[in-house]
Chain A
Amino acid sequence: MKCPSCGREIPDDSEICPYCTASIKHRVKIRTIYVIAISLVILVASYGVLAYYGGEVPITKIKDLGLTDNYNFIRLHGKVDGYPWVYENDYQVTSFRFKLNDGTGSVTIKVYGDVIKRMVEEHKIPAMGDTVDIKGTYMYSSNSLILNNIDYIEIEKPEHKGVKIDDIFNAAPWEYKNGDKVFVNGNITSVREFSFGFICTIDEKFDVLIPRAYYSLHILNISEMGSAYLQFYGALEFYQPVAPSDTYKVVNLPDLLSNTENYNGSYVRITWAKVTDRNILNNTITVYSNGSYIPVYVRNGVKYYAPGDYVEIQGRFINYKGNWEISVSHTNDFVTEPRWELIEDPTYKVLDKKEYVPNGPMKEFSLVEIKGTIVDYRIFSYSVSLTIWANNQSYMVYVENKAMVKNMDYGNSVVIKGIVTLYNGQPEIKVRPFTNDVVEVEV
């Protein structure tokens, strides 16, 4: 016979080949190994099926995230908390971020580079109050999730409810909920720039915040929005200028007045009250809340709180010359005017496009273009107020940003494009920054 290993002729009864020492008895067939190799096909098929059906990542609760999830690819499901923000350099947006809250905690979602580009192209832009299903790499140290691909985010936008500005303006905090999705109709009458975005007043009453993220990514075009009658879509947020603190006890006004001795000298907070009377001479306003009245002594700035305003008061409850009052005089005390405002979604609808009408009628919220001569001007710290003469009449012009005006001098001719608003009942042309409004002084 032949040795099955080396192929040389060996005696028939040998158990070991005398030439190559190979065992003749204990051998493994190569065919068996082929079968094992081909059995890999089962694994191929199962991985193929797994890949085909997605390999969906299970949803993780934010509170369960820990050190062992660092760099892990996880999936979260929750609501966008607040509005997105961006980091940018001189040329482009480098990072787009927002907070995600699933009820158990919150995580910062970070989007970079090309993913931002694709996000804008496919208009998959998260906004406050949206329900988001997201997959990404979790970074433990910064408690953030990096979105590596725009396909890994699913955004579900809730239905918007229509409201009127008058309903929302001065509405009490309990009448709406934070994050309620609404739309309102109106005209932008004022634009103020902040680091986080632009606060636009619509119809001189209601504030809409356009987050800088949407502006920098050219999703919301303020100049287009400025020259139209618009439907604003967004989420409501109750804006409290000063954050509540623990040292002040939230009280109900009737409670306070019925337990005066208990509360004597304590720091209290009245969350919602209406100013009914104002006495400039002794710096006092009287407010009304839940059926009771109380005088409030305001050391600074009493002139800002006119009767009819809704205010939030934080101060010390004391007895002054036999009368119970709240004294707002300590550094942490305040009187503020909290309001509902709208955080703009990355969408809006143009209801009526408006053009600048040369020498147009001074109708409220209409756009006009006036060419005239400067007869008077005053420069304030941020803004400029002008009086111009044209068409044999004088026009009041209010420029919101003084950087828009150059070479101002008496007698110079000027072209004004702006929106007509009413100021103390008188029509006035308001020139808003970041819109198509202009002040061009010809030297």
Chain B
Amino acid sequence: MTIGYLLMAIAFVLIGSLIGSALSMLPGLHVYNVIGFFLLFYFTASFVLDPMFMVLMLIGMLVSYAFVFTIPSIYFSAPDDSTMFVLMPSLRYLKEGRGHEAVVLIATGALTGLFAIVLFVPLFMGPLSIVWDIVSTHLHWIIGAVIAYMLLSEFPKDFGRHKNPLHGLKEGWKTIMAGYLTFFLSSILGLITFNKTIVPANHAFQSLMAPLIGLFATSSIILNLISKYEIPEQNIPKSIDSTPQEILHGAVAGSSGGLFAAFLPAVTAGVGGYMASHAFAQKGDKSFLVSMGASRVVYYVGAIALFFLPVLHLRRGALAMGINLFFTPESVQQFYLVDMGIAIAGIFAFFVVIYASKFLAKRIYKINPKALNLIVLGIVVALVYFMTSWQGLIIMSVATAIGLIPVLFNSRRSHCLAVILVPIWLNMSGIALGGFFGLW
């Protein structure tokens, strides 16, 4: 290793972070989709570029996404409280003119998550590999248990006003049933996508892209388009209303949830963070926001760190799978480089988030985000068409319809993740449900 190589590595991380930060500002666009696009491009140019530089650039993109995603999720999502039972903490902050404070809280959480990855994951390398050796033959029931918990832990949201037991059941079960319906439909969509997708064979490696964009991106863009916007003037504080204990609590909970999700296949940050917030008996908006930031960073970035971790080399998440197409992690040196890249991208992305938020907070009440949402809808549709052709658009519209159910009925959106969770779980437990749908 030469100084030149090291500097090149840092340069590529920064390039990646720059691209990632720019793209992550757009609501609804997921970095994995962009990375898929980049990989396509890379395979033709692989002889020019050292694969390690490409890896570092992709990591820069991922880390900055995990940080900067906060901006659109706070400033460009619909603060329309008329459709909701309970307000998400981030929306409450925005309504009170404290959008920047919420961003700082989430970014702080993300920062603690980053510390967890670059500082603690290497320390617990040995135990992690032992745990992985132990549980790797038991994943079928562990993931089954995650699914069971997701389904059983949703409690009715009603106000207790009912005329008779039947009416009460109907009121209370409305959100639950909407959640179960979402879960059921998403898992069928997932089964079809995994077993016999209609996406043409030469695009089939991106077959999950269309359903995921439909379930999460387009449905929320549509919600943003139909709901009314009244964003009050935002204040830019010099300090945030929180205590170190609250931040620590949120950080520990979020990091554990993210690590859980990064460690197990098919479990994602939403599910992991949700379970961790229960496991750590979390209360309060502040530690919730912190844990949200931490769990997302640990999930996305931790998956990559686990991929490069010398004794583990777990392949989790779309980026690790994508990198594995052209690169096999091997040496400790690469692990050090990757951790260095993660930390650099983290510092960069943290300040990008803070300053972008400061910039936006002053102007957000003047902007009409509907135009922005329309632009992003166009980009997303174009991307899906380019990557998966018109068949992908059909899948996307079906997925959008499913993704709108939890939005309209106030059930948990994480039920949409059944699209990945259920097919992988069924595959692991050796249950062949696809036969019911004539899939093979």
Contact = CB atoms under 8 A, between A and B. Distances in A.
Decide if A and B touch, CB cutoff 8 A: yes
A323 interface: no
Contacts of B340: 43-44, 47-48, 51
Given A53-B1, A67-B133, 6 more contacts: A5-B98, A20-B97, A29-B239, A33-B111, A37-B351, A148-B330
A5 B310 contact: no
Interface in B98-112: 98, 101, 104, 107-108, 111
A47 B111 contact: no
Nearest to B340: A47
B367 interface: no
Contact of A28 (B235, B243, B343): B243
A73 interface: yes
B111 A27 contact: no
Contact of A6 (B3, B96, B311): B96
B263 to A, nearest CB: 16
Given A20-B97, A40-B347, A57-B332, A33 B108 contact: yes
B350 interface: yes
B260 interface: no
Interface residues of A, number: 48
Contacts of A403: none
A67 to B, nearest CB: 7
B343 A40 contact: yes
Interface of B: 1, 3, 6, 96-98, 101, 104, 107-108, 111, 114-115, 118-119, 129-130, 133, 235, 237-244, 247, 310-311, 313, 328, 330-333, 335-337, 339-340, 343-344, 346-347, 350-351, 354
A234 B403 CA distance: 70
B240 A27 contact: yes
A38 B337 contact: no
Contacts of A8: 97
Contact of B339 (A47, A148, A152): A47
A322 interface: no
A55 interface: yes
A68 interface: yes
A350 to B, nearest CB: 36
Contact of B111 (A28, A29, A37, A71): A37
Which of B238, B310, B343 has the most A CB atoms < 10 Å from its CB?
B343
A28 B347 contact: no
A52 B9 CA distance: 11
Contacts of A56: 332
A370 B216 CA distance: 83
Contact of A4 (B129, B239, B336, B351): B239
B239 A51 contact: no
B313 to A, nearest CB: 6
B150 to A, nearest CB: 31
Contacts of A50: 333, 336
Interface in A49-76: 50-57, 67-73
A30 B241 contact: no
Interface in A3-24: 3-8, 19-20, 22-23
A50 B311 CA distance: 18
A43 B344 CA distance: 9
B350 to A, nearest CB: 5
Contacts of A48: 6, 336, 340
Contacts of A152: 330-331
Which of B108, B247, B332 has the most A CB atoms < 10 Å from its CB?
B332
Contacts of B119: 43
B332 A55 contact: yes
B235 to A, nearest CB: 3
Given A5-B98, A7-B97, A148-B328, A51 B347 contact: no
The 3 closest A-B pairs by CB, nearest first: A7-B235, A47-B340, A55-B332
A6 B235 contact: yes
B411 to A, nearest CB: 28
B3 A43 contact: no
A75 to B, nearest CB: 10
A135 B97 CA distance: 57
B311 A47 contact: no
A33 B244 CA distance: 11
B313 A54 contact: no
Contacts of B313: 71
Contact of B96 (A19, A57, A148): A19
A28 B118 contact: no
B293 to A, nearest CB: 12
